[in-house]
């Protein structure tokens, strides 16, 4: 982790104290950026990447050097996918307005989207961002349950609106948790016993429910990302989340599944992360992968919840679900189907995990390889006996891979797990490039 202009620590951040080590042109651009955009805008890597264009799984700098993207989940069907570009171009030249007018495309898309869920999750409310969707889901949960208490995992990230940020402990001490937010340690399949992990997670949830009640607070929701990505990734065994979901429902609260990162076929085994666990949420939050980066997101849920919300409060999002964004989102669904990207995620993800497991036989500092599809974590430890996290090694590897033109980052409360989350058209040949770069980087920094 690095400091930025005296601010809170951030995993894989550029340190402005080292600005003078960069080329003069890069220094000048960073100074202009700081002057006009402020200190909150952070940059990745010891040497920031100055990008010019993108295509598929590749990003290109101004000199035309290409970088393999192993991190960006938002362009889920690949950067600048021709079908998404064409859909946006056609619709922006035809009509773009709010949802208080009738437009076929918006309704067509809503029907197509909810058809990927079970029959019980049959309605969607559209927003522009995942943060707005989290905010909306929390409003619905609190209004319909009558409770205020929200339980999240210990290093969760759910967004940047006031309501989402106060439920995002990963933002650090400078962003206090809300007065009705409690945290629980996330499941950890590396250190926990898989046979009891689910029940232990549920017990931690139950303890926070009891704490709410001791303070006269009714629980409203259990909210988590269904692969626990910001906590370091935990995907197996399937079904381990079910006891925790049962606990919140027994207490009168709702289960809100944050699918911004695991959703849209990324895990390879299901369209949505919660489906891997045979769990059905009350509300599901979607984010910008929905439109391959266009500003579209939403909340999918049970009609009874939406009906009650509608009868008791007004809600309108001016350009949430606008036709241009819905055109992009429709094209994403088309590409996922026509290019069989869920199957690709399963096949390439399994190949990449096998290669990483082989690397772990060579490097004792790799403590664990875990994940599903094209969402993989590789965890670095000081030694396997103690399982002590090694965030410094992870940071060194991330920057060594950047020097080899492979862009990746890290996650987890200690920043010690590589977060492998490429666009879904990632192929075997790209996985081989990752494995080669990782092996060379480890040989360099260990």
Cα separation of 230 and 150, whole Å? Answer: 18
In this prediction, residues 247-260 reach a mean pLDDT of 98
pLDDT band of 435, cuts 50, 70, 90: very high
- Check residue 40 and give its pLDDT: 86
Cα separation of 399 and 405, whole Å? Answer: 10
DSSP string, 251-290: TT-EEEEE-TTTTTTTTSS-SSGGGGGT---SEEEE-GGG
pLDDT at residue 361 is higher than 70:
yes
Cα separation of 231 and 190, whole Å? Answer: 12
Q: How many Cβ atoms are within 10 Å of 324's Cβ, its own excluded?
A: 24
Q: Which residue reads 């606008």 in tokens?
A: 322
Query: Rounded to the nearest 5°, which phi and psi values hold at 246?
Result: -60, -35
Which of 40-44, 80-84, 241-245, 437-441 is least confident? 40-44
Three-state DSSP class for residue 11: coil
pLDDT at residue 1 is higher than 70:
no
Q: pTM of the entire structure?
A: 0.95
Mean pLDDT of the chain: 95
Cα separation of 69 and 439, whole Å? Answer: 17
Q: By percentage, how much of the chain surpasses pLDDT 70?
A: 98
pLDDT at residue 81 is higher than 50:
yes
Query: Rounded to the nearest 5°, which phi and psi values hold at 380?
Result: -95, 135
The domains located in the chain, with CATH, are 49-77+341-445 (3.90.1150.10), 82-338 (3.40.640.10)
Displacement of CA 68 from its chain's centroid (Å) = 19
Strands (E), 89-239: 123-127, 149-153, 181-184, 219-225
Q: Which residues contact 153 (CB under 8 A, 6 or more apart)?
A: 169, 183, 184, 185, 186, 224, 225, 228, 230, 231
pLDDT at residue 39 is higher than 90:
no
In this prediction, residues 223-236 reach a mean pLDDT of 97
- Check residue 16 and give its pLDDT: 87
pLDDT band of 13, cuts 50, 70, 90: confident
Q: By percentage, how much of the chain surpasses pLDDT 90?
A: 93
In this prediction, residues 34-59 reach a mean pLDDT of 93
- Check residue 17 and give its pLDDT: 84
In this prediction, residues 177-188 reach a mean pLDDT of 98
DSSP state of 215: T
Cβ–Cβ under 8 Å, residues 283 and 140: yes
Cβ–Cβ under 8 Å, residues 152 and 231: no
Cα separation of 83 and 52, whole Å? Answer: 21
In this prediction, residues 410-437 reach a mean pLDDT of 97
Cβ–Cβ under 8 Å, residues 335 and 423: no
Q: Which residue reads 């919140």 in tokens?
A: 248
- Check residue 9 and give its pLDDT: 52
Q: For the chain, state the CA radius of gyration.
A: 22
Cβ–Cβ under 8 Å, residues 45 and 397: no
């Amino acid at each position: 982790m690095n400091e930025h202009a005296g601010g809170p620590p951030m995993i894989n951040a550029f340190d402005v104290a080292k600005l003078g080590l960069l080329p003069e042109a890069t220094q000048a651009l960073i100074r202009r950026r700081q002057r006009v955009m402020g200190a909150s805008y952070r940059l990745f890597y010891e040497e920031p990447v100055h990008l010019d264009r993108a295509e598929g799984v590749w990003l290109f700098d101004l000199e035309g050097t290409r970088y393999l993207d192993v991190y960006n989940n938002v362009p889920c069907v690949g950067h600048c996918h021709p079908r998404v570009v064409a859909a946006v171009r056609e619709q922006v030249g035809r009509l773009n307005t709010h949802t208080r007018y009738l437009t076929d495309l918006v309704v067509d898309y809503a029907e197509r989207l909810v058809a990927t869920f079970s029959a019980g999750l049959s309605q969607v409310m559209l927003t522009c961002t995942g943060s707005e969707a989290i905010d909306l889901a929390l409003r619905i949960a609190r209004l319909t349950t009558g409770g205020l208490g929200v339980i999240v995992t210990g290093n969760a990230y759910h967004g940047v609106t006031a309501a989402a940020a106060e439920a995002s402990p990963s933002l650090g001490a400078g962003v206090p948790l809300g007065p009705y937010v409690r945290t629980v340690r996330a499941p950890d399949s590396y250190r926990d016993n898989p046979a009891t992990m689910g029940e232990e997670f549920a017990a931690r949830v139950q303890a926070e429910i009891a704490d709410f009640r001791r303070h006269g607070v009714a629980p409203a929701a259990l909210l988590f990302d269904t692969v626990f990505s910001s906590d370091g990734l935990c995907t197996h065994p399937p079904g381990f989340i079910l006891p925790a979901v049962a606990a919140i429902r027994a207490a009168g609260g709702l289960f809100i599944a944050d699918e911004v990162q695991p959703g849209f076929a990324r895990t390879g085994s299901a369209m949505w992360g919660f489906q891997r666990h045979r769990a059905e949420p009350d509300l599901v939050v979607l984010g910008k992968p929905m439109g391959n980066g266009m500003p579209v997101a939403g909340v999918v849920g049970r009609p009874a919840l939406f009906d009650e919300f509608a009868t008791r409060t007004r809600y309108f999002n001016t350009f949430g679900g606008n036709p241009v964004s819905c055109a992009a989102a429709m094209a994403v669904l088309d590409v996922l189907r026509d290019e069989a990207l869920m199957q690709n995620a399963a096949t390439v993800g399994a190949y990449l995990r096998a290669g990483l497991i082989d690397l772990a036989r060579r490097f004792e500092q790799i403590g664990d390889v875990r994940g599903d599809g094209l969402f993989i974590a590789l965890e670095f430890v000081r030694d396997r006996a103690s399982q002590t996290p090694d965030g410094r090694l992870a940071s060194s590897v991330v920057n060594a891979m950047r020097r080899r033109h492979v862009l990746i980052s890290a996650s987890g409360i200690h920043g010690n797990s590589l977060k492998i989350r490429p666009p879904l058209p990632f192929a075997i040949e790209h996985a081989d490039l990752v494995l080669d770069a990782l092996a060379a980087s480890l040989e360099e920094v260990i």
